[in-house]
Amino acid sequence: MNYLELFSSSCREKPRLMALAQALLRQVTDLQACAAAIEPGYAAENAVGVQLDAAGEMIGIPRPEGMSEGVLLCLLWVISTLKVPKGTFGNEI
């Protein structure tokens, strides 16, 4: 979004104000782009290996030996979506 277009015409007539706004808004848009690029790396659906193990431990479900990442990811998704209380399954899984 071009935030400079939101300035009124009276503000646009002030070159120093617009230069300052442009410099500040460039930093904001750069930070937004950086945050958008980083965010997918922290999405649960992108977790693998020890990330899944850590997520399971956080909600009280350690990965049983031999369970695939796909099954664990599905299990974590179901439990977090249904808001199952921590420790509900114990060692039954």
Q: What is the mean pLDDT of residues 71-93?
A: 68
* Whether residue 23 sits in one domain with residue 8: yes
What local confidence, expressed as pLDDT, does residue 41 receive? 65
Q: Is residue 36 part of a domain?
A: yes
Q: Is residue 89 part of a domain?
A: no
| 49 φψ region: left (φ > 0), alpha (ψ -120 to 50), beta (else) | left
Asked if pLDDT for residue 69 goes beyond 90, the answer is: no
| Domains of the chain: total | 2
Q: Measure the CA–CA gap between 47 and 75, rounded to whole angstroms.
A: 13
Q: Is 72 exposed, middle or buried (0-12, 13-18, 19+ CB in 10 A)?
A: buried
Q: Measure the CA–CA gap between 56 and 38, rounded to whole angstroms.
A: 22
What local confidence, expressed as pLDDT, does residue 86 receive? 59
Confidence of residue 3 (pLDDT cuts 50, 70, 90): confident
Q: Which domain holds residue 70?
A: 43-82
Q: Is residue 93 part of a domain?
A: no
Of residues 85 and 70, more confidence is placed in 70
* Whether residue 35 sits in one domain with residue 50: no
Q: Measure the CA–CA gap between 41 and 48, rounded to whole angstroms.
A: 11
What local confidence, expressed as pLDDT, does residue 75 receive? 80
* Whether residue 34 sits in one domain with residue 50: no
